[in-house]
C-alpha cells in the first residue's frame, strides 16, 4: 500500500463538491487515513507550492489556494499516487480524460478544484506539511477483504 496527499481546493469546497470528490476515491475502495477542513496560511501555501516559485502563475496560485477553506486528505491504496492522479485528471481540465474529476467539474487550469501529489517525494513532503503523525490513522477497511487477495 502507498499513501498520497490530496486537497479539495477552495473552488471545490465552495461549489459543494467535497462529498462527490470523496465519493470517487471511496468508490475505488481507497482508504482515507487522515482528513480535515482548514484555511491555508501564506506560510503553508509557500511550502506547498515551493516548486512553482517564479512561474508566471505563482501569485495567482497562492491567492487561489488561500481564498477559502480547503479539505486535505491522506489516501492509502495500492499504487495510490499514480492511481489518484488518474482519477483526478490532467492539470488543465481541457486536457483531462472524460470521467476524471477535473474533466467532470472544471474548465480552467487556474480553477481545477483538486490537488494530488505527483510523486513519492511530493507525497511524503506534502503529507508532512499538513498532518502530524498522530492524525494519520491505521485501521482495517473491511471492504478490502472483498477487493484484494492478500
Nearest Cα to Cα of residue 46 among 38, 54, 35, 36: 54
Binding at 26: pick from Mg ion, ligand IDP, none (beta carbon under 5-8 Å per type): none
Alpha helices in 10-117 (DSSP H): 10-14, 18-27, 42-48, 58-65, 80-88, 101-105
Nearest Cα to Cα of residue 25 among 59, 71, 64: 71
User: CA 40 to CA 67: how far, in whole Å?
Assistant: 8
Please, what is the minimum distance in Å from the beta carbon of residue 150 to ligand IDP?
A: 33
Per the residue annotation, which of 9, 31, 102, 115 is the catalytic one? 115
Q: Kindly tell me which of 26 and 118 has the beta carbon lying closer to Mg ion.
A: 118
Number of other residues whose CB lies within 10 A of the CB of residue 10: 21
The site for ligand IDP (CB under 6 A) is made up of 57, 61, 91, 109-110, 112, 115, 118
**Is 115 an annotated catalytic residue?**
yes
Please, what is the minimum distance in Å from the beta carbon of residue 144 to Mg ion?
A: 28
Please, what is the minimum distance in Å from the beta carbon of residue 118 to ligand IDP?
A: 5
Binding at 112: pick from ligand IDP, Mg ion, none (beta carbon under 5-8 Å per type): ligand IDP
Q: Kindly tell me which of 123 and 134 has the beta carbon lying closer to Mg ion.
A: 123
Residues 6+ apart with CB under 8 A from 68: 10, 13, 14, 39
Q: Kindly tell me which of 4 and 112 has the beta carbon lying closer to ligand IDP.
A: 112
What Å distances lie between residue 51 and 45, 111, 125, CA to CA? 11, 19, 12
The site for Mg ion (CB under 5 A) is made up of 118
Please, what is the minimum distance in Å from the beta carbon of residue 142 to ligand IDP?
A: 32
Residues tagged active-site: 115
Amino acid at each position: 500500500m502507498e499513501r498520497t496527499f490530496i486537497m479539495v481546493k477552495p473552488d471545490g469546497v465552495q461549489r459543494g463538491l467535497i462529498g462527490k470528490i470523496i465519493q470517487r476515491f471511496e468508490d475505488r475502495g481507497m482508504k482515507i487515513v487522515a482528513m480535515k477542513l482548514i484555511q491555508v496560511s501564506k506560510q503553508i501555501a509557500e511550502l506547498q507550492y515551493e516548486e512553482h516559485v517564479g512561474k508566471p502563475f505563482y501569485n495567482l496560485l497562492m491567492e487561489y489556494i488561500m481564498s477559502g477553506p480547503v479539505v486535505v486528505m491522506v489516501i492509502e491504496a495500492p499504487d495510490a499516487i499514480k492511481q489518484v492522479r488518474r482519477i483526478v485528471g490532467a492539470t488543465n481540465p481541457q486536457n483531462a480524460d472524460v470521467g476524471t474529476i477535473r474533466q467532470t467539474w472544471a474548465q480552467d487550469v487556474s480553477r481545477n478544484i483538486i490537488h494530488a501529489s505527483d510523486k513519492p517525494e511530493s507525497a511524503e513532503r506534502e503529507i508532512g506539511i499538513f498532518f502530524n503523525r498522530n492524525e494519520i490513522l491505521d485501521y482495517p477497511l473491511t471492504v478490502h477483504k472483498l477487493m484484494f487477495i492478500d
